[in-house]
Each structure stands twice: as C-alpha cells, then as structure tokens.
Amino acid sequence: MFRGLSAFPLTPTTETDIDEASFRTLVARLAAAGVDSIGALGSTGGYAYLSREQRARAARIAVEAADGVPLVVGIGALRTAQVSALAEDAQKAGASAVLLAPMTYQALTDDEVFGLYEDVSRELSVPLCVYDNPGTTHVHFTDELHARIAHLPNVAAIKIPPLPDAPARAKARVETLRALLPDTVTIGISGDWAAATGLNAGCEAWYSVVGGLFPATALTLTRAAQDGDAARATALSERLEPLWELFRVHGSLRVMSAAAEQLGLTDRPNLPRPLRELPPPAHQKLATALTSLGLTA
Amino acid sequence: MFRGLSAFPLTPTTETDIDEASFRTLVARLAAAGVDSIGALGSTGGYAYLSREQRARAARIAVEAADGVPLVVGIGALRTAQVSALAEDAQKAGASAVLLAPMTYQALTDDEVFGLYEDVSRELSVPLCVYDNPGTTHVHFTDELHARIAHLPNVAAIKIPPLPDAPARAKARVETLRALLPDTVTIGISGDWAAATGLNAGCEAWYSVVGGLFPATALTLTRAAQDGDAARATALSERLEPLWELFRVHGSLRVMSAAAEQLGLTDRPNLPRPLRELPPPAHQKLATALTSLGLTA
C-alpha cells in the first residue's frame, strides 16, 4: 500500500464548493498513468478547507475515478470526534487507507498527539499513514513520539518532511528512524524537491505533489530510485529545479493550482479563499518552466 | 463596545457536543458580575474545535444568558466562505460584534490575510475585532498589515498579543501602533499576565481569559488601570502570578478548564479532544493557588 509513488491531486474548488468534474478528471489521469496509489484530500487536496460533507463527496468521487488504484484519504481535523467521523466517511466511501496529520489550533503536548492517534487508530479497519508535516501543523514529532505512535494498531506508514540534502546524512536519518519502528511500518518522503534524496536514502514511498498533476514525470524518477539508479533519480530531480524553486517561494499548492489552470484542467481560480492564486509574474515564470520541461500537456 | 473588560468564558464540551447547561451558567455569571462585554467562542471558548451548528447554538445561548451585556462572537475558520457563514449565524443570533483570527493551515501571505478581512468585513452589519494571536494562528501581523486592515469598513478594534514587560517600551509600542490606525479603532491586550502592562500602556480593553471565570478579580484590576492607578493594577496582577505561571506552562485554556471543574461549574473532562486536562500535579498546584488567592467560589 504505502510504497512507490503516491500521487496527491488538487481538489479544485468553486467559490463555496468543490469542482467535482475537474477533480474526477485529475484523479482519473493518475489512475491511467499507473501510479502506485492516489492520495486524495491531502494538504494539496485542501482537506483542511472543506466541510465534512464536501470531503465525503470528494472521497466517493475519488474512489470511483481511481478505478481500482489504491486510494488514501486524508482525515485530519482539529477535534478528535471530527477525525473519527471523517475516518468513518472515508471507509464507507471505499478508501484503501487513511492519512492523518495532527492539525492544531492550541499547541498540543506529545501526549495529546499520541492520544489523537490512539483514539482514531483503534476504530479503523484500514491502515493509517502518520502525516508529519510541521509546516502546516506546527507539531514537531520527536523520534520517541513517532515510535510510540508507530506501535499502535493499524499504523502502517509515516510520511516525513524533507531530509538533509547530503545523501549520507539523509540515509543515517532514515536508518535512525527505521530502527525505532515496527518492520511493518514504511517510511515515505514528502517535500518534492527532497524526493530523490529520500528515495535514494531508503524511503519506500514518495508522497508527491508534482505527481498529482505530472504522474509520468514522477513515476520515472520513482522507478529510477527503486531500480537503484540513484544518480539518475538525482539528475531527474535536478532537472525539475525550476519547479522546486517556485514550490519553495510560493508553496507547492499554489504552484500546482496555477499549473492545473495552465493545462486547462481546472477553472481559475480553483483554490479556496483566503488562499489566492499565484501573482502574475510567478504565473509567467511557471509557464516558462513547464514549456522548457515539456510539461504542457 | 471594545473597551474595558471583555471576559472570555470556556465553552465546556461533552465527548462530541457542547455542554449547553454549563456554558449558560458561565455566561450568566459574567453578566451578573458586570463585565463590560463577553467574548463567546474565542480561543478560550474553543471555537476552532466546534462545528458550524454547535457554534450557532452556542451563540444563541450566549446572547440569551448575557442578558443585555454586549456579546462578541468568534467567527474564525480556515475557509473564507466558512467565516462568512459563521458571521451570518452570529449576527442572526444577536451578537453585538464579531472577533476574527486568521486561522491557517497553509501559511498565508499578507495579501491573503488582508483579503480575508476584506471579504468578510464588507458583509457585516456589526463591528469586527481583529484577533492577532500568533501562538494559535502562526500569522505574524506587520504594522503595515494592521494598518491596511484597520481601515476596512466595520473594523473597530484590534486584540493584540502581550507587549514588552518594560512599561516605557510597552507604551511606545501601543503609541506606534495607534498612530497607524483610524481614531475609531481601539487596541486591546490579551495574554492575561500582560494585561496590567497593556492597560497601563494605554490599551482601551483587556480581552481576558481569567475574567471568563473570575470576573470580579479581573474587573478590579481593569478599573484600577482605568482610574489611572497603574501601581495598583500592577500589584493586582503580580498577586495573580501563581496563575500566570500555570498559564505559561500549560496554556490558559487547560488551566481555566481545570479551574472550572474545581469550582464545580463543569463536568470533567470539559475540553474537546485531542486537548486533555491538566496533569494531576498541575491540578493540585492550581487548587493550592486558587485557595491562597481566595478564588474558590
């Protein structure tokens, strides 16, 4: 389940709702491209901005459009009771697995974060991926906290933020973390510019934003790393540097939103306010990058 | 409206809902004590953890129980469309004003924060207080951003985080900010341990957590500062240091939740999970502090 390329599509939105038709198209493209799994309603899928009803509807659409490709559904919310309800909805929709980030408003103690995973994981009948994303949750997982959570029932994977750039340090970091986890729990990388480093360092999965719109490109990089060709994976990632630069400045969500518009796959705007689209100069820079990378169709 | 003591009660919760009876009691106590306004569904009121329906219900209960005392209702949410819906609900319930913090999941640009206030303020028929709370929202308001927002229609107040401890520096900070704002916009302090400093420095309001449970104590401090007796206000605040210390370590919400239990005003637990109650040693420390301060009834 949590191995290889997990591609995370946008959930395009209208002013107050989700754009069902565009979302269905985005998911179906990923299934057709042969990704290993699809991650609906991740950070890129704007889960945090949608209502329970919208998320249940998006999960049902994604299961249909995924056409048999394993589907992971994000179930994060601020209140545990809401997370449990979302987990139920995702499972009813037919999700193969769920992804849970510890969203915060009040800062949480480690015991509170653990308690969230304990309360939610015990009710699941599908595997769960722990989503460690300090940039959005402001939770900083210690190794001890990762280990406690990873030993809970149904916990099957951890999605980690970018590793150190230096290959040896990245590998050491993955090995340190792996030593604390049960053998059944995989480690996956996120932060697309760190994907080649992560896969080369031994991560079993790439939770990919760029793969949500350009699955063939992300699959080529993933397969190179899986085949042990670290140099090729690194070169493929370096080629994408114009995209990574935009990701780091504007956030990958805004960049992928603009790219989806440029490809004619969504309307404009397609992000939930207060999020706004890329400023015009960045839009132009993105158009130039996509053309030079041959990513215009 | 946004002057004097604005007292922020808890919204006690059951496992999945709000505890209506306890909430009604807490609000009625504040009205009876003669606070200048009541702030329902602030951070202390756990707004971020409640559904739209629960928040609408809490707002209606608070308006009734406030019995004519001006009521401010928190309308923060991650999506602008949700904030607009909450603003409508609050106004329908009879709120005198609304309070809006720019909640975040994806980090927001300054233009996005401004756009949120622009979209929401234009639809209001009651005044709005800008809630600057970097600890929960992770938004860091620049002075320029404060000034842009303060000039929007219906913006009537800013609720700021703690000021520098040194009185002269605190006063300078308030004066710098005030010079950027229209004359109609008041500045209020939050972070209870900084309240005396803030009021003495010229803030017109104290948005008070402790005042949500101990209104007489908070009123005495507020009135001393309003009467120009800065030394008395400072002394009254220093007396409460055992509480402030617990606030700084455990967060004011968890401490007030435990205090409400100890006073027999709510059940236990009364916080929405994943938030957990104070650990037993802190509970004991709080009991000792309340006894020594004469705050046990």
Q: Which residues in chain A touch residue B251, judged by CB atoms under 8 angstroms apart?
A: 106-107
Contact A253 B107 (CB under 8 A): no
Kindly tell me if the per-residue pLDDT of B15 is higher than 90: no
- Which residue, among B38, B44, B40, has the nearest Cα to B56 in the 3D structure? B40
Q: Are B70 and B38 in contact (CB under 8 A)?
A: yes
Is the ipTM, as predicted for this complex, more than 0.90? yes
| B169-188 per-position pLDDT tens digit | 999 999 999 999 999 999 99
Q: Are B294 and B217 in contact (CB under 8 A)?
A: no
Q: How many C-beta neighbours within 10 Å does residue B291 have?
A: 11
Mean pLDDT in residue range A54-62:
98
- Predicted confidence band of residue B17 (pLDDT cuts 50, 70, 90): very high
Residues of A noted as catalytic: 131, 159
Q: Are A271 and A49 in contact (CB under 8 A)?
A: no
B17/chain A closest Cα distance in angstroms:
9
**Domains of chain B, with CATH numbers?**
4-229 (3.20.20.70)
Burial of A263 (0-12, 13-18, 19+ CB in 10 A): middle
What pLDDT does A73 receive?
98
Choose the closest CB to A48 out of B15, B78, B80.
Answer: B78
Choose the closest CB to B274 out of A50, A80, A273.
Answer: A80
What pLDDT does A297 receive?
73
What pLDDT does A1 receive?
85
- Which residue, among A77, A71, A76, has the nearest Cα to A91 in the 3D structure? A71
**Does residue B167 have a cis peptide bond before it, meaning omega lies within 30 degrees of 0?**
no
Q: Which residue of A has its CA nearest to B44?
A: A106
* Chain mean pLDDT for chain B: 97
Q: Which residues in chain A touch residue B80, judged by CB atoms under 8 angstroms apart?
A: 272-274
| A8-41 per-position pLDDT tens digit | 999 999 988 999 999 999 999 999 999 999 999 9
Which residues does residue A208 pair with via DSSP β-bridges, in sequence order? Answer: A7
User: With an 8 Å Cβ cutoff, is B183 touching chain A?
Assistant: no
Kindly tell me if the per-residue pLDDT of A87 is higher than 80: yes
Q: How many C-beta neighbours within 10 Å does residue A20 have?
A: 16
Contact B16 A81 (CB under 8 A): yes
Mean pLDDT in residue range B40-56:
98
What pLDDT does A89 receive?
98
Tell whether the torsion through CA atoms of A61, A62, A65 and A69 is positive or negative.
negative
State how far the Cα of B231 lies from the Cα of B252, in Å rounded to an integer. 25
| A182-233 per-position pLDDT tens digit | 999 999 999 999 999 999 999 999 999 999 999 999 999 999 999 999 999 9
State how far the Cα of A56 lies from the Cα of A51, in Å rounded to an integer. 9
- Which residue, among B39, B50, B117, has the nearest Cα to B84 in the 3D structure? B117
Q: Which residue of A has its CA nearest to B102?
A: A274
Kindly tell me if the per-residue pLDDT of A279 is higher than 80: yes
What pLDDT does B16 receive?
86
Kindly tell me if the per-residue pLDDT of B277 is higher than 80: yes
Find tokens 């301060």 and name the residue.
Answer: B293
User: With an 8 Å Cβ cutoff, is B80 touching chain A?
Assistant: yes
Q: Which residues in chain B touch residue A133, judged by CB atoms under 8 angstroms apart?
A: none
Contact B274 A79 (CB under 8 A): yes
- Predicted confidence band of residue A250 (pLDDT cuts 50, 70, 90): very high
How far, in Å, are A145, A243, A253, B159, B197 from residue B210 at the CA level? 32, 49, 40, 16, 16
Kindly tell me if the per-residue pLDDT of B227 is higher than 80: yes
What pLDDT does B297 receive?
73
